[in-house]
Amino acid sequence: MPVQHPQPENPTPLVETTIPGGWTWSSPIPRGSAIRLTDVDGGANAALTALRLSDPSERYCMGDTLKPQHRSRLTAGDALYSDMGRILLSLIEDEVGGHDPFGGLGDDRLLTHRHGPQDYQSQRNGWWRSGRESLTVELAKHGLGRADVGDVVNLFSLVDVAADGTTALRQGHSPAGASVVLRAELDLLVAIHCGPHPHAADGPWAPKPVALRVDPIAPPAADDPVRLRCPENARGLAASEQAARLAA
């Protein structure tokens, strides 16, 4: 009989770091990985986008994510689709209670209006950086450009829509220590910016940090909640699984 070696309770993660408030992070993430993001202090916002590693022209698409699932917010059991109908990420755990898929990214014009003009020479590491410019710079590290900054999901944030169509960021939505876990269904390039949501109220520049951990995870089973969420998700996961087999 072979010797049974006990498995460690907390195996070494593939990645473990904290993204400071106002900063941006990116990395290739292999298929079969669980990305756990944790709101360290409460009130964080993490704008996340994902592109297929082998072909970055295939990327997260808000419209193709919301239409088949009939969703205006994302939570456990939902999927993040590419513009090719494949599922890039599955949302498998959610301690927050919903995340904003349509608020988008802030830009330099918005932050200049809120905080006044700034530059690194005068403010050093305390200067504000918009989500759009930050993700543009981050993707440039991987040979990509401004045109590759597409849709994002604003994790830890939720936007309410009133009867008259006006929108407002829900205050106090994400408590300290709350986590969300996404499972990579293809080899991806994932980029995250931890800056204020574009709908955030005016005030001092004080973005919150987000802890990140990436671990291996089993592939989705036949009874996986994301697969069973709707027929489109079953087809989306099957398309991702086929693409992964063909790329192997």
The pTM for the full model equals 0.90
- Per-residue pLDDT tens digits for 37-88: 999 999 999 999 999 999 999 999 999 999 999 988 999 999 999 999 999 9
- Per-residue pLDDT tens digits for 143-186: 999 999 999 999 999 998 888 888 889 999 999 999 999 999 99
Is the pLDDT at 111 greater than 80? The verdict is: no
Contacts of 13 (CB under 8 A, 6+ apart): 213, 214, 215
First to last CA, the chain: 33
In three-state secondary structure terms, 164 is coil
Query: Is-contact 155 175, C-beta < 8 A?
Result: no
Q: And the tokens for 75?
A: 């939570």
The per-residue pLDDT of the chain, averaged, comes to 90
- Per-residue pLDDT tens digits for 176-211: 999 999 999 999 999 999 999 998 887 787 899 999
Q: And the tokens for 110?
A: 């918005």
Percentage of the chain exceeding pLDDT 70: 91
Residues forming beta bridges with residue 59, ordered by sequence position: 51
What is the per-residue pLDDT for 2?
38
